[in-house]
């Protein structure tokens, strides 16, 4: 399947979600690939096609070289992010002070 045909098969809802995921700092391109089957280059094509030129340039400048957009370069583990300040929850009851 060619890249352009994959992109053309996306619904408006899918495109909105891809754009949202692409803007998020902690969402790697690999997550978009798993969910939608689009490579990094295909995501760039979607962003270029769907966004205003100035918004696309701003997004592209923001994403280029950002390690969190690539799972292998990211310092964040594959596990769900959890803040050190998050309270411990036991048996679905928030612990009291």
**Beta strands per DSSP E along the chain:** 89-90, 93-94
Query: Is 64 in contact with 73 (CB distance < 8 Å)?
Result: no
| 3-state DSSP helix/strand/coil % of the chain, to nearest 5 | 55, 5, 45
Say what the pLDDT of residue 80 is. Answer: 55
Please give the model's pTM, rounded to 2 decimal places.
0.66
How confident is the model over 7-34, as pLDDT tens digits?
Answer: 888 999 999 999 999 998 888 889 999 9
Query: Is 41 in contact with 35 (CB distance < 8 Å)?
Result: no
How confident is the model over 30-61, as pLDDT tens digits?
Answer: 999 999 999 999 999 999 999 999 999 999 99
Say what the pLDDT of residue 66 is. Answer: 74
- What is the C-alpha to C-alpha distance for residues 79 and 89, in angstroms, rounded to an integer? 18
How confident is the model over 72-94, as pLDDT tens digits?
Answer: 655 545 455 555 555 555 555 55
């Amino acid at each position: 399947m060619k890249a352009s045909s994959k992109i053309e098969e996306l619904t408006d809802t899918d495109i909105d979600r891809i754009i949202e995921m692409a803007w998020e700092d902690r969402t790697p391109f690999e997550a978009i690939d798993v969910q939608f089957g689009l490579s990094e280059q295909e995501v760039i094509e979607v962003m270029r096609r769907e966004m205003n030129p100035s918004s696309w340039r701003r997004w592209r400048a923001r994403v280029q070289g950002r390690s969190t957009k690539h799972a292998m370069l990211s310092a964040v583990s594959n596990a769900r992010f959890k803040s050190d300040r998050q309270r411990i929850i036991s048996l679905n009851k928030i612990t009291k002070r």
